[in-house]
């Protein structure tokens, strides 16, 4: 039942890096991004409270709707995009295969 999925991070327009993540460990996208070397502080430890894991979803499969906690946190951000999500609230599952995101917290 172990299934690895691919997540793409857009580093610059037209430049995407592929990352492989397992779906059998209950990992969040934030944890995969941190493990891949991205500079995400995740000061709240994945509790939807710090928004340092903010990403913009650019393409890929439809994700589960954000929780009220996630929406409340996103509302406090100075810059929000159409596809803004907290990556700590996105679980890696076979249904997130092929997701394309851009890190949105840098410079905020
Ligand atoms: S890690 Fe803090 S909101 Fe996601």
Residue ranges lining ligand 1, Cβ < 6 Å: 30, 42, 44, 46, 48-53, 86, 88
Mean pLDDT of 68-95: 96
The whole-model pTM stands at 0.94
Q: pLDDT tens digits, residue range 4-45?
A: 999 999 999 999 999 999 999 999 999 999 999 999 999 999
Query: Closest by alpha carbon to 96, among 43, 34, 19, 39?
Result: 19
- Region 86-94: what's the mean pLDDT? 97
* Index of the ligand 1 atom closest to the CA of residue 73: 3
Tell me the CA–centroid distance for residue 44 and ligand 1, in Å. Answer: 5
pLDDT at position 106 over 80: no
Where exactly are the structural domains of the chain?
4-103
Residue 105 has what pLDDT?
79
So what CATH class is 4-103? Answer: alpha beta
In this predicted structure, the answer to whether residue 1 has a pLDDT above a threshold of 80 is: no
């Amino acid at each position: 039942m172990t299934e690895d999925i691919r997540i793409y991070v857009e580093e610059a327009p037209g430049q995407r890096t592929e990352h492989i993540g397992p779906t059998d460990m209950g990992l969040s996208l934030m944890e995969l991004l941190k493990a891949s070397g991205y500079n995400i502080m995740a000061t709240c430890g994945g509790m939807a409270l710090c928004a340092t894991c903010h990403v913009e979803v650019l393409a890929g499969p439809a994700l589960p709707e954000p929780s009220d906690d996630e929406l409340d946190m996103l509302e406090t951000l100075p810059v929000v995009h159409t596809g803004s999500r907290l990556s700590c609230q996105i679980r890696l599952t076979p249904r997130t295969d092929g997701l394309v995101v851009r890190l949105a917290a840098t410079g905020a």
